[in-house]
Amino acid sequence: MKTLKWKIVTYILPLLVFVSLAFFGFFLNHYQENLNQKLEQKGQVLANSLSYLCQVGLNSANEDLCFSQIDKFLKDSEVVGVGLYNQDGQVIEVKNEIDLSQKMPEEILRKMKKDFKGIVLGGAGSDNKKAKSFWQPILANNQALTGSASSSSEILMGFARVDLSLNDLQRAIKEIIYFAIFLIILEFIIGLWLITKLSRKITIPLQEIVRGAKIFSQGQLNWRINITTKDELGILGLTLNQMAIQLQKSQAELKEQNSILDIKVTAKDKSLNGLVNRVEDQSKNKVKELEDKIKELEKFHRLTIKRELKMIALKKELAILAKKPKKGLKK
């Protein structure tokens, strides 16, 4: 039964670990996506803000408004770089707290000149794994620059760049990984304890049932399986006990019937013996009667022969006597 216990442990525990790892993978992926979304939302808001301030400064001919915001942006703990570039991608002002590339990539320059839309660069899957760069075009009102009322379209004046560090994101992911590993280990220990306890609740009643079945097979029907649970195992133990009780009753009835049959057979044997004895006695009596009659007949036969012999002798004497007087008369 120990093998069954360990089979339960070896089957359920890996399944539990697999489910935990799958849940952890799903949770980590979802958590990482949420952090990335929050980081991108913040970066885009900051890049849009820097672009807007520069746009306001250019439209109001106050370029200091644009440059004065760089130091304010760097006060944010997640901001590690702020840069301004002209419409040709040349550096106007760049401040980095970590070693980041100051050059504007040619591919981004061409794309932003074409689309006038922001771009996110960096992070996982890129050359820059320390930070994410958020690029936004700086657009100025053509009317404000030229003073012409006939021209109201926006023209590209440059680009704003805000770099957000990935350290906090990576640190948060590491913390959640460590916490998840701790939870998995804790879940493994608790799961092992629960599975062992559960397997004991299953195997101990099974051991009692197997023990009772072996004892019943040896003919000891007075034994009772001691299972107090109200589940299927308890019902099985109760059923085996009832089966043993029924077998006891059947054996008792069979013994009683055998005893009655033995009595009947003994009685019949006794009656047959009595009949045989009576027949033997009667035959002996008849044989004795026959012997007595034979003896009487033999005795009667002897007496008859003696009488006949006496009669013959008397007849001879009478004949002799009958002859004697005649002789006397002749004289």
pTM: 0.53
In angstroms, rounded to a whole number, what is the distance separating the alpha carbons of residues 134 and 161? 6
What is the average per-residue pLDDT within 120-139?
71
In angstroms, rounded to a whole number, what is the distance separating the alpha carbons of residues 250 and 310? 87
pLDDT band at residue 331 using 50, 70 and 90 as cut-offs: very low
Question: Are residues 137 and 118 in contact, defined by beta-carbon separation less than 8 angstroms?
Answer: yes
pLDDT(206) > 70:
yes
Sequence-separated contacts (24+) of 151-156 with Cβ below 8 Å: 156/87, 156/112, 156/113, 156/116
Structure confidence by residue, pLDDT tens digits, 63-108: 676 777 777 888 888 888 888 888 888 888 888 766 656 677 888 8
> The domain at 2-186 falls in which architecture?
2-Layer Sandwich (3.30)
In angstroms, rounded to a whole number, what is the distance separating the alpha carbons of residues 189 and 24? 17
Neighbouring C-beta atoms of residue 28, cutoff 10 Å: 14
- Mean of the per-residue pLDDT values for the chain? 78
What is the helix (H) or strand (E) element at residue 80, kind and residue range? strand 79-86
In angstroms, rounded to a whole number, what is the distance separating the alpha carbons of residues 241 and 95? 87
Determine the pLDDT at residue 176: 84
What is the average per-residue pLDDT within 303-311?
81
235-241-244 Cα angle (round to 5)? 145
What is the helix (H) or strand (E) element at residue 120, kind and residue range? strand 119-122
pLDDT(298) > 70:
yes
* Lowest-confidence segment of 93-102, 154-163, 195-204 by average pLDDT: 93-102
Determine the pLDDT at residue 99: 60
Structure confidence by residue, pLDDT tens digits, 247-275: 888 888 888 888 888 888 887 777 777 77
Chain centre distance of CA 207: 18
pLDDT(149) > 60:
no
CA-to-CA dists, residue 283 to 164, 179, 277, 287, angstroms: 134, 112, 10, 6
pLDDT(329) > 50:
no
Output the six-digit token pair for 261. Answer: 């049959």
Structure confidence by residue, pLDDT tens digits, 285-296: 888 888 888 888
In angstroms, rounded to a whole number, what is the distance separating the alpha carbons of residues 59 and 143? 9
* Lowest-confidence segment of 54-58, 68-72, 193-197, 325-329 by average pLDDT: 325-329
Determine the pLDDT at residue 213: 84
What is the average per-residue pLDDT within 222-231?
79
What is the average per-residue pLDDT within 220-241?
81
